[in-house]
Amino acid sequence: MKNSELQLNIISAEKKIFSGTVTSVIIPGISGKFGVYPDHAPLISPLKEGVIVYTVNGNEESVDVNGGIAEVMQNVVTICVA
């Protein structure tokens, strides 16, 4: 993984939705959408219903979610969705 990338893991109770290297992630936090980029400060945030948008190889992908929780730590973003 390059310094300009993040490891993104999106999981639910039933399955792994996505696991791979991305350049950015937009997350629907309960206080509003926020972007996560390489070297982002550590955080944990609950999610509201919305869309997670992430960029892979220059292409935007998205996942609709009904809520969940996100953790960002050392260029690894783990999101457990409802």
Categorize the per-residue pLDDT at 3 as very low, low, confident or very high, splitting at 50, 70 and 90. Answer: confident
**CATH number of 6-81, picked from 2.60.15.10, 2.40.50.180, 3.40.1370.10, 3.10.560.10:** 2.60.15.10
Token reading at 41: 């400060």
In the chain, the amino acid numbered 32 is: G
pLDDT computed for residue 82 by the predictor: 87
pLDDT computed for residue 42 by the predictor: 97
Categorize the per-residue pLDDT at 4 as very low, low, confident or very high, splitting at 50, 70 and 90. Answer: confident
For tokens 């792994």, the residue is 16
- C-beta of residue 56 within 8 angstroms of C-beta of residue 39: no
CA 42 to chain centre: 13
pLDDT computed for residue 51 by the predictor: 98
How many residues are given for the chain? 82
Domain boundaries, the chain: 6-81
| 22-33: pLDDT as tens digits | 999 999 999 999
